[in-house]
Amino acid sequence: MLKKILGIAPKLEPDGSYSPSRVALKLATSDVTDFENIEYTKYQGKRSKILVIFTERKNMKMKNGKLFSTGNHPVEALLPMLHLRNAGFEFIIATPTGKPVVFEMWAFPNGDKHVQDIYNEHKSSFGRPLSLKTFIDSSLVDMASYAAVFVPGGHGAMLGIPEDQKVGKVLNWAHENSLYTITLCHGPGSLLTTTLKGQEFLYKGYNMAVFPDSVDKMTPKIGYLPGLMPWGLSEKLKSLGAKIVNSKSDNTVCLDRRLITGASPLASNDLGKLAAETLLKELK
């Protein structure tokens, strides 16, 4: 009751999950973003496609058994896509099984026209994405059309994706064919797929920006999460040999070889700029 009065009680959703509290939403979300509408010299070549792997899962079971209403963070997905679209790239939208993309709609910046526009532009694809099996069966031979693979963040990126062998196959394909891999916040959970079947971590020794476990441990205090995380992403990546370059959930971005990463939703704009500029420079 006291938490409700203070505004730090997570909100119970109709399906029994919890979304962030009133105070957490005020502190962690905004009606507009810091998107910079940059005019890039658009890419005109053959490698214009970017595969975007979204989560299709919504509810994360916390250590206390409560469910967190999650999915892909809309800002972390759509701001990088805005920059990449403005730089001349197009998107192939996919989820592991082809079920619809799930967004954390409680974090959607409804006052941001740029974000609204690109969301509406791809809304039909979000509702009917490719399955990764279909992509693997039809497109792995078409690597000459692709520039990158993008895995947006949101806690939902830690649901199913880190254990999905199809994701691992796509990331290994991207690495072997010199495509870029772009991800941020909790999206680097996808990188764990490269250890499946006893393989050494593909990104051992890489510098990367990732959402810190220390922040995830703090956010239940303001009702952002309804409990402690089931497992820690940044510590897991460190244990495999990744070098985490940030200690805060800030706007840090990092480019190491062909891996482009960002620390949090606050890095979404800078990640998009870095990705667009890097791909344009590489493919000129």
Q: How many CB atoms lie within 10 A of CB 61?
A: 13
DSSP secondary structure code for residue 104 in this structure: -
> How many other CB atoms are found less than 10 A from the CB of residue 186?
31
Q: For 109-164, how does the pLDDT look when each residue is reduced to its tens digit (9 = 90+)?
A: 999 999 999 999 999 999 999 999 999 998 777 778 999 999 999 999 999 999 99
* Catalytic residue (one of 82, 151, 167, 185): 185
Query: Which residues have a Cβ under 8 Å from the Cβ of 3 and sit 6 or more positions away?
Result: 9, 21, 223
Pairing of strands 146-151, 259-262: unpaired
Question: Please, what are the domains in the chain?
Answer: 2-31+49-283 (3.40.50.880)
Residues with Cβ < 8 Å from 235, sequence gap 6 or more?
Answer: 213
Q: Which residue stretches of the chain have pLDDT < 50?
A: none
Model pLDDT, residue 262: 98
> Of 267, 224, 263, which Cα lies nearest the Cα of 25?
224
pLDDT value of position 1: 58
Asked whether the whole model's pTM tops 0.85, one would answer yes
Q: What is the pLDDT of residue 145?
A: 94
Concerning whether 254 is annotated as a catalytic residue, the answer is: no
